[in-house]
Every structure is written in C-alpha cells, then in structure tokens.
Structure 1
Amino acid sequence: MATEPKAVINTADLKLDHWKQGAFYEGADTSFGALLGLAGLGISYNEVPPGKSSCPFHNHHVEDELFYVISGAGEYRFGDERHAIKAGDVLGAPAGGPETAHQIINSGTATLVYLGISTMAKTEIVEYPDSGKFLAKTNRDGAKPGRFRHIGRPESDLDYWDGEPGA
C-alpha cells in the first residue's frame, strides 16, 4: 500500500540508516523525495562523523546534484580543487566529466549534516576517478526487472559482438 505524499516533512522525524564501509566511509542517511511526492527530484538527509566521507569521489554524466550544509564543517573535493565548507554553504555538482567529480569529507570535529538534492535520471553513468571504476544504471518504472546496474572498469571491456550467436 503506497503512502500518501506529504506536503511537509521535518528532518528530525526521518528514520536514518546507519552504515559503515572500511575505515573511511560511514554515515547515517535516508532518501525522502518520494515521501514528498517528488518523482523527478531526489533528496537525502546525511550525517557523517568526523574523519569520514559518505561516498567516493565521483562524477555523474547526467544528474546534477546540490548539497546544503546544515551543520558541521568539512572539505569539498571538486575536480582538482578542495574547498573548506561550513554550515550555510551550498555546493554545486553539475553533470559532467572528471572535472565535476566531487566528494564531501568531514574534516571537522563534529558530525557533518547536509542535504543532498539531485535530478533523478532514468539512466545514469557515474565515474569514480580515484579507483578507475564506472557505474551504469537504469530505472524502468513498472518493468520487470525494474532496473539494471553494473559496476566495472574500462579494462574489462568486451567486443561489441562478443558472445553473439553467429557473430
């Protein structure tokens, strides 16, 4: 049974999912755009402890992202630059190549809290410059299976005709 979209949500009422990956990645977050009835806009609430990041350095080919720092301080990697960030800062991450790759790191002493807002493309390619990976994904509403997702590296590239009958 679908939940009726709300006109107003208070972030204090959101149920956060806490997770940890290795020594550097950790956070408590949730996505809530759907709770507001927003089909084309993704919104996340994120809490990142000191010394951690919630995601690898990455760039989107299709989706634009914007981040709003609610509290705490940190560092914003953007392309080849690093920027000090604090409460009240708005960070842009437009779609593009490695020059728009971005990552938020909590280099402060308190929990870094921010909102992430993004366009929600049906198909997206994400590159990870630090590790040389890419992610290809698509979401197809109502289709079975409803999505395709693959993470790989360019060196595992196959020939277009590989495995095709009669090729």
Structure 2
Amino acid sequence: MPAPVMNIADAQYTDLAERSRSRGSAMPQERFGGRIAALAPALGARRLGFNVTAVAPGKSAFPFHSHRLNEEMFFVIEGTGQLRFGSATYPLRAGDVIACPSGGPEVAHQIVNTGATELKVLAVSTMLHPEVCHYPDSGKFAVLDGMGPDGFRHVGRQQDNLDYWQGE
C-alpha cells in the first residue's frame, strides 16, 4: 500500500498534449494546454479520483462538458481564471471551491485560465462507470467504462446513431 500523504510539489506531472497523444488523439494546442498529476492512484485511492491540473495561461485543460453520472469538485490552488458553467461564467481565484454536479448541458463546465500565470486546481471526482459525457460546443458524446489502458472509450455524435437491429 502506498503512503497516504503526498505533497503536490512532489507529484509526477504529465503534459496534457502528451497524454492526449498517448491515447491516440491530437489536442488542439491553440486552445488547450497544461499539465496534470494523477494523485489518486499514487496514494492508493479507490473510489475517488483526484488530480492537480495546471492550466497554461490563455488555455483550458479540457473541453466544455457535462457528466451524466460523476460529480466533480475543484479547488483553485493558485492563479486566476473563469468557470463556464451552463450558460453562465464566473471569475475564479485562489481559494475558490467549484461544485459540478452530474446532469446535462445546464451543468456543463470548463475552467479557462484568463491570467498571465499557470492556474492550478485540485480536481476531485466520484469514479463511477460506465460514464457518459456530453460536449455541447461540438455536439459530441463519450462513453467510458474505465480510464485504464484496456477500458472501453467511444466518442461520437448523436446524429451518427445506428439502429439497434442494424447488422444483426
């Protein structure tokens, strides 16, 4: 069992663009960028996911999205930014706590670094699977049954829906 304590300064960060490439995807670096440190696995957590995400100035770490099953909480450690939440926006600064319940477009969320320095947030999530995420800006959805290397992951658009009996 790993030690249950870790300082975020000692965490192992991965570049988000590199993480995307390792999953067979190309992150549009003009809008997205930063680093992420997965703390939960390193600390032995089983039912909660948590990481530190460091968002580069002028960028977001992830697209505007909602979760149908999982709930997320963010704590702003340092920096400034903006939260897109449903149809509203909120300014962010160190010390802010953000609640992102599960649901549809009304709770879609995205953190944007509007400052000149890195925006660092602690992200905490329930780790329930299978999960369905929706991306209102692009009209996409994702189905995930786990985040491991052997997990099922499919990203598509609703208009590409197949008939249930097609090919049977």
Is the shorter-chain TM-score for this pair beyond 0.5, marking a shared fold?
yes
1:19 CA displacement? 3.1
Q: Given the alignment, which residue of 93, 116, 140 partners 1:86?
A: 93
Which is greater in Rg?
1
The structure-2 alpha-carbon separation of the partners of 1:139 and 1:50, relative to structure 1 and needing over 3 Å to count, comes to: closer
Checking the alignment, whether the CA contact within 8 Å between 1:63 and 1:121 is kept in structure 2 is yes
Q: Percent identity?
A: 43
Segments of structure 1 that go 5 or more residues without pairing to the other structure are none
Q: Larger % of helix: which?
A: 2
| Residue deviations 1:42-85 (CA, integer Å, cap 9, x gap) | 00111111100000000000000000000000000000000000
> 1:33 maps to what in 2?
40
Q: Given the alignment, which residue of 13, 16, 20 partners 1:16?
A: 13
CA RMSD of aligned residues (A): 1.6
Aligned residues: 158
Q: Given the alignment, which residue of 144, 149, 155 partners 2:153?
A: 149
1:146 CA displacement? 4.2
Give the partner amino acid of 1:147: G
Segments of structure 2 that go 5 or more residues without pairing to the other structure are 18-26
Q: Larger % of strand: which?
A: 1
Q: Distance in 1 between matches of 2:123 and 2:16?
A: 17
Q: Distance in 2 between matches of 1:147 and 1:16?
A: 22
Q: TM-score, normalised by structure 1?
A: 0.90
**Quick check: 1:5 aligned with 2:2?**
yes
1:33 CA displacement? 0.6
Q: Distance in 2 between matches of 1:12 and 1:128?
A: 32
Q: TM-score, normalised by structure 2?
A: 0.90
| Residue deviations 1:6-57 (CA, integer Å, cap 9, x gap) | 2101101011111332201001112111222211100011111110000000
